A and B are shown apart, each in its own frame.
Chain A
Amino acid sequence: MKIDVEKLKSIVGEKNVSNNIADLYVYGSDASVHQALPAVIVRPKTIEEVQKIVRYANKNKIPVVPRGAGSGTSGHTVPIDGGIILDMKRMNRIIEINPQDMLVRVEPGVVDDDLNRALRPFGLFYPPAPASSRIATIGGEIAANASGVRSVKYGATRDYVMAMKVVLANGKLVNLGSNTRVHSSGYQLERLIVGSEGTLGIVVEATMGIIPLPKFRCLAVANFDKLEDAGNAISEIISSGSQPSLLELMDKIGIIAVNKAMDLKIPEVEAIIMFEADGNVKEAVDFEIQKMKKICEKYGGKNVKMSYDLAERTRLFSGRKKLFASLSRYKEGIICTDLADDMGVPNSKIAVTAKKIHEIAERNNVIMAVYGHCGSGVIHTKIMLDPKKKSQWKDAERVIDELYDYVHSVGGVTSAEHGIGLSKAPPWKKARADILPVMRSIKKALDPNNILNPHKLHDAPDDWVKATKLRYKVG
């Protein structure tokens, strides 16, 4: 594959193209365990530039991997076949805030938190909020159908996508969806792009729904002596018809890790639940929070602390917000790897799955924290291991096989909000063999030359350990 770097420079300008190793090495990596080298990084600013680049790549059958913040956990943006990394972060304009139609029009490189900062003066917000919202771009969130702490009440990215401009593999620009809340006008193609991980088209503009900020938010924390009790309390909160605006679980491993990393002095109990209610009528918020508190207490939840105050809420939640990276501090000699990180299970299976995760980890010589937006069925874990030992990667492989077999057996999904990429592809392909031919047909129809983020999702290698070079030096 020979890439005409001069041609790319003529499209986006010399300073927006790089093929020096300092950039290639960095852009070949994300938050996953994978790493591969692209041939060139290109940073477009306009839709026309994206079209020109894609047309050139399609004609010459060069892979194009669109990239937002590179915060993906499963290798979505790792260029397994080399080629062009299309860094979308320069397309970062919030084009329109329209409070009358309750929508925003943004370029794909707009950062989630920036969007919410811009919306705040209007009394509005964009709710999906993944933990990485400080850097995550809207384009990346669409590609992964990101969700987050508020999704238990407000849903995921897919629930806010209204319209989109997408550059297809042949360079053509198409307008998908509409500016109306609902439409029944043919295939919902804008929804097809959600979760497609850059394999079907490149999002160059998105129109997203927005909603009013609630006047009151009350956050509470309850401590539990048994992880299972905390899981059962979460299930009952949901099935009782409560409407939490946040419902999070954190196990003891997570608590110890954030205490070590940030000295937060959270009581090191077996599990904590964080729950929040929001609304415009304080009495209604009080009612919801008290109802949830009672359910927690029924399952042994104690020392319930709650607050309406922003500073106190921020303090109570700080441990959860930064848990992901803190896990590396749990124990000397082991580090946190982004594997088996975001399974989703039905509401009734939270407690049993949490217990099962610890059991599988222990049996296979690794450590796994259990936490996440359990109110919406999302269980986050990470596999913590010694990355230098070959045997630990074998342990991780066994954990992944066993864990996903279990999750699928209880009606769960491989990925709830981070996407499949490379590292989750093998268990997902095994569980969903029936839909792979359909997905491949769609891919072939839209991208016959297989240039858009090739060999991901349904076409990812069957062995995740050998899919690319691992980011760690093993042995």
Chain B
Amino acid sequence: MGIMGKLFYYKKKGNFKRSKKWEGELNKCIRCGYCYELCPLFKSQNWESDTPRGKLLLIYGMINSEIEPNQEIVDKIFQCFYCKNCSDNCSAGVPVTDILTDARADLIEAGFEVEGTIVKINEDLCSVCGVCLSVCKYDALSIEKVGKDENKIVVDKVECRGCGLCVSACPSGAISQKEGCEITLPELHTKVSSLLKENKDMKAIVFCCNWSLFPGMQLSEYQNLVKTPYGLIVSMCSGRVAPELVLNAFEEGAWGVMVAGCPPEECDHDGNYKTRRRLVLLRNMLKELNIEPERIKLDWFSTRESAKLTKSIDDFIEKLEKLGPIKKMEITKKVGG
């Protein structure tokens, strides 16, 4: 190996100076695996290497030179939505996401190409309007000058938490996240459609914010045995529930749509303000279409208010049962007219 080769090798291997300071905390992780249940990524991927425990193991292996970083490991480390369910509920108190952020910085410094759950900008579509900057709470997006009169949006790959609010805010559809984690708009559309198609008695779709009130991740399959009149979809921040997603649910036969988000002052991303504005407009739109606006419900829940969520959903279903199904002909007539 020549000098350049060696330099490249060591650069790629990384020195993990940020991650190494966490060795004591990584030892505190007893590896009980209780974080599996709390991890939305594990639910969608089902590989243990996508769980918080799995990520901590990989970081531990890298800082102790038991494994060398490679693209597969990097991909795992950069897949996380920072919902912090793991950090907040770890009874060993291990700050999982802080450790992860430092490992990400180390891997970027080592020269790895990263994607994971980080957002991507399609420069051909981006008009550099800057709307995305205003919704990002982590300052992960910035405008960079690239020519005399030319700017572009740049993503800070360490700071981006993958919440995807910028994806739903971008008016040009220029921002995207990779498919496969059940959070992109097309994936959510598919989920809504399949829930309603597979369960003919399902009356409502309930979008739950992953941060405010984690509704629990059922890891086993028993939908065919225990039917509920509603389908729960964890949509990360409620601000990601795009209007077309709500309308899509109605079109697929839902009698109503409920969005469960954080109380306004508690939102990690300020996405709930957007949800509130968005749903007011949608309700007005339903009214125009001669459809009862109360078929759209928005309610706030703090963490650990699962009893309140259950009651709120039950009340909503009761109301929907009184209202009955939407008369489809009327929608078509009105929309068409």
Task: Type the 1/0 row for A15-33, where 1 means its CB is closer than 8 Å to any CB of B.
Answer: 0001011110111011100
Over the window 25-52 of chain B, the binary record of Cβ atoms lying under 8 Å from chain A Cβ atoms (1 yes, 0 no) is: 0011111111011000000001111000
- Whether A70 contacts B48 by the Cβ 8 Å rule is yes
Q: State the CA gap A132–B35 with chains docked (Å).
A: 11
- Tell me the smallest distance from the CB of B146 to a CB of chain A, in Å: 35
Q: Which residue of A lies closest to B31 (CB)?
A: A31
Query: Contacting A25 at CB < 8 Å: which of B47, B61, B91, B222?
Result: B61
Q: Give CA–CA (A117, B90) in the complex, Å.
A: 22
| Residues of chain B lying within 8 A (CB to CB) of residue A20 | 70, 72
Residues in B neighbouring A87, C-beta threshold 8 A? 48
Q: How does the 8 Å CB contact mask read for A94-113 relative to B, with 1 for contact and 0 for none?
A: 10110000000010011101
Q: How far is the CB of B94 from chain A (nearest CB, A)?
A: 8
Which residue of A27, A325, A473 contacts B48 across the interface (Cβ within 8 Å)? Answer: A27
Instruction: Determine if B332 is an interface residue (Cβ-Cβ < 8 Å).
Output: no
| Nearest B residue to A314, CB-CB | B304
Give the most central of A135, A324, A338: most B CB within 10 Å. A135
> Which residues of chain B are within 8 angstroms of A70 by Cβ–Cβ distance?
33, 48
Q: A117–B73 Cα gap in the complex (Å)? A: 35
* B54 within 8 Å of A (CB atoms): yes
At the interface with chain A, which of B191-199, B213-221, B317-325? B213-221
The reply on A89 being an interface residue by CB < 8 A is yes
Q: State the CA gap A376–B218 with chains docked (Å).
A: 30
Q: Report Cα–Cα, A258/B211, bound state, in Å.
A: 24
- The interface bits of chain B over 92-112 (1 if a CB of A lies within 8 angstroms of the residue's CB, else 0) are 110000000000000000000
Q: Which B residues are in CB contact (< 8 Å) with A27?
A: 48-49
Q: Considering the chains assembled together, what is the distance between the CA atoms of A90 and B48 in angstroms?
A: 12
Least distance between A468 CB and chain B CB atoms (Å): 13
A335 lies within 8 A of chain B by Cβ: yes
Instruction: Out of B49, B93, B220, name the residue touching A261 (CB < 8 Å).
Output: B93
Instruction: State whether A23 touches B220 (Cβ < 8 A).
Output: no
With the chains together, A93 CA to B75 CA distance in Å?
A: 29
| A241 CB within 8 Å of chain B | no
The answer, yes or no, to whether A64 is at the interface (CB within 8 Å) is no
| Residue from the list A92, A327, A338, A388 in contact with B220, Cβ < 8 A | A92
Residues of B within 8 A of A324 (CB): 30, 32, 91
Contact of A326 among B53, B58, B72, B92 (CB under 8 A): B92
The answer to whether B37 touches A21 (Cβ under 8 A) is no
Known A-B contacts A69-B33, A325-B30; the reply to A22 vs B49 at CB < 8 A is: yes
Give the shortest distance, in Å, between A30 (CB) and chain B (any CB): 7
CB of B301 to closest CB in A, whole Å: 16
Determine if B225 is an interface residue (Cβ-Cβ < 8 Å): yes
Interface pair A111/B67, CB less than 8 Å apart: no
CB-contacts of B59-101 with A (<8 A): 61, 64, 66-68, 70, 72-73, 75-76, 90-93
Can you list 22 pairs linking A and B with CB atoms under 8 Å apart? A22-B58, A22-B72, A22-B73, A25-B66, A27-B48, A31-B31, A71-B34, A87-B48, A109-B220, A111-B220, A114-B219, A114-B222, A118-B220, A121-B226, A134-B37, A135-B33, A135-B36, A258-B91, A324-B30, A324-B32, A335-B28, A336-B30
